[in-house]
Amino acid sequence: MSRPLLIHGGRIVDPSTNLDEIADVLVVGGRIEAVQPGLAGPEDAQRIDARGLVVSPGLIDVHVHFREPGGEHKETIRTGAQSAAAGGFTTVWAMPNTDPPLDDPAAVGFVRQEARRWARRGEGGARVSPVGAASKGLAGVQMTEIGGLVEAGAVAVTDDGHPIADPVLMRRLLEYTQAFDIPVLQHAEDMALSARGVMNEGSVATALGLRGIPNASEAVIVARDILLAELTGGHLHIQHLSARESVEFVRMARDRGVRVTTELTPHHLTLTEEAVQGYRTEAKMNPPLRREEDRQVLRQALIDGVIEMIATDHAPHHYEEKEREFDDAPFGIVGLETALPICLHDLVVSGDMTLSSLIDRMSCAPARAMGIEGGTLRPGSPADIVVFDPEASWLVDADQFRSKSRNTPFSGWRVTGRIRRTIVAGETRFEDSGSTT
């Protein structure tokens, strides 16, 4: 086990314990030992000067794609985990739409083992929790052996990349998963309504001559699945909300006590369909960037807590795959290394959200909603910690990413907040010396 760690003089922001004050954090044996001002710590402790920096529970992202196995030219479990750590994340959930997909216990076990193997070799990053496929081959027909997947380490099931289209399968999943107390993650989309669309439906798509995806394509599935969650009592987690209508249904579900949780990506928080102008494939994602009205409703829902968490939907693609006609380019962008600064800049610097609330949405809330460890600095918890400079202003440069891929629409953006250190189980997995550009 690693040396004890004393992080001193930082501003502790931990919404799970209602803490926002200058204090020290002592880590012993990979767990939080104490959080209070003026801690001395053992003699052999490694001392980390956090004066002027924020010390928070490590960030949690329940939606990333690490592409391994099968897409190692885009990302691997090693580079993905390192990218996550560089973004301040200590736990990420890896989606099962790999090749082959994570639809059997061996594949699920591989992802977990691979992350641990690199960590043992000193090249680890965030903890990587595999999410199992909901259906065999992600085909949307036959349920996977979910019990086996959970035994192998799966923390949830999903067919993400594809929606679970069949309402009967969705109902069965919401029923069957209750035995394991795991959520069903849904990419809410009616593929028939999307009709091979490549961006939001509306005047921008019309002017560009691109096929549009209407808001209703998402909202009809959100509504349907909320009703199925109500019917079954299962835990439905709706991924990457994009349409304002979806928010209305989620609000209604809350009022009716339905067990539904949701996430918002940093790009849907900050961008609109206008980003596609000029056929920019780095603004091609699914669900698509919507209109300003949608963005405003989603943003307010995050502030109000109706949407309880931020997730990146980190979707690496190789340069060549994005460097082509808009219709043929794949959906998705990388997001792990820009998430905190983008959100800090948009929500906290603007004064619309407190830093504490943002840490809640990016760390405590996902832990709470999904019932997993982390998201707190309470003594006895795993020492998953992020230390960041909340004021540092810098220009996003995709060439500096730890991720294997560079597909981001945020290149050249001036953002606020820079990760200085990411600690997983008391071990530093990322460190930035502190020079800012």
Partner 1 sequence: MTAMGKDLELGKDLIGLEDLSREQILGILDTAEPFKEISERKIKKVPVLRGQTIVNLFFEPSTRTRISFEFAEKRLSADTVNISSSGSSVQKGETLVDTARNLEAMRIHMVVVRHGSSGAARFLADRIPSNVINAGDGQHAHPTQALLDLLTIRDRFGAIEGRRVCIVGDIKHSRVARSNVTGFLKCGAEVAVCGPRTLIPAGIEDLGVQVFGRVEEAIEWCDVLYVLRLQLERMQGGYVPSLREYNRVFGVTSRRLESAADDMIVLHPGPMNRGVEIDSDVADGPRSVILPQVTNGVAVRMAVLYLLAGGRPELAESAKGRMP
- Tell me how far apart the alpha carbons of residues 227 and 17 are, in angstroms, rounded to a whole number: 34
Q: Which of residues 284-323 bind partner 1 (CB under 8 A)?
A: 320, 323
Q: Is 214 in the site for partner 1 (CB under 8 A)?
A: yes
Q: Is 327 in the site for partner 1 (CB under 8 A)?
A: yes
Taking the complex as a whole, the smallest distance from the CB of residue 326 to partner 1 amounts, in Å, to 5
- Contact with partner 1 (CB under 8 A): which of 212, 288, 341, 409? 212
- Contact with partner 1 (CB under 8 A): which of 208, 227, 303, 372? 208
Q: Point out which residues pair with 199 in neighbouring strands.
A: 212
DSSP letter, residue 425:
T
Nearer to partner 1, 209 or 351 (CB): 209
Nearer to partner 1, 38 or 278 (CB): 278
Nearer to partner 1, 99 or 320 (CB): 320
> What track of x and - describes contact with partner 1 for positions 96 through 125 (by CB under 8 A)?
------------------------------
CA 150, 154, 155, 159: dihedral to nearest 10 degrees?
-110
Q: Is 196 in the site for partner 1 (CB under 8 A)?
A: no
Nearer to partner 1, 166 or 328 (CB): 328
- Tell me how far apart the alpha carbons of residues 252 and 278 are, in angstroms, rounded to a whole number: 38
Q: Point out which residues pair with 282 in neighbouring strands.
A: none
Nearer to partner 1, 263 or 321 (CB): 321
Q: Is 423 in the site for partner 1 (CB under 8 A)?
A: no
Catalytic residue among 14, 159, 294, 313: 313
Q: Is 49 in the site for partner 1 (CB under 8 A)?
A: no
End-to-end CA distance of the chain: 36
- Tell me how far apart the alpha carbons of residues 205 and 213 are, in angstroms, rounded to a whole number: 9
Q: Is 326 in the site for partner 1 (CB under 8 A)?
A: yes
- Contact with partner 1 (CB under 8 A): which of 117, 256, 324, 378? 324
Beta carbons of 9 and 48 less than 8 angstroms apart: no
Number of other CB atoms surrounding residue 277 within 10 Å: 11
DSSP letter, residue 38:
T
SS3 label, residue 118: helix
Q: Is 151 in the site for partner 1 (CB under 8 A)?
A: no
CA distances from 178 to 43, 137, 169, 184 (A): 48, 22, 14, 10
Q: Which of residues 268-287 bind partner 1 (CB under 8 A)?
A: 278-279
- Tell me how far apart the alpha carbons of residues 285 and 254 are, in angstroms, rounded to a whole number: 28
Q: Is 313 a catalytic residue?
A: yes
Q: Is 388 in the site for partner 1 (CB under 8 A)?
A: no
The stretch among 158-166, 209-217, 299-307, 402-410 that binds partner 1 (CB under 8 A) is 209-217
The stretch among 144-152, 325-333, 342-350, 380-388 that binds partner 1 (CB under 8 A) is 325-333
Nearer to partner 1, 15 or 214 (CB): 214
142: phi > 0 → left, psi -120 to 50 → alpha, else beta; which?
beta
The stretch among 38-46, 94-102, 120-128, 204-212 that binds partner 1 (CB under 8 A) is 204-212
What does the buried/exposed string (b/e) look like for 223-240 if buried means 16 or more CB atoms within 10 Å of the residue's CB?
A: bbbbbbbbebebbbbbbb
- Residue 300's contacts (CB-CB under 8 Å, 6 or more residues apart) are none
Which positions are annotated as active-site residues? Answer: 313
Residues that bind partner 1 (CB under 8 A): 201-212, 214, 278-279, 320, 323-328
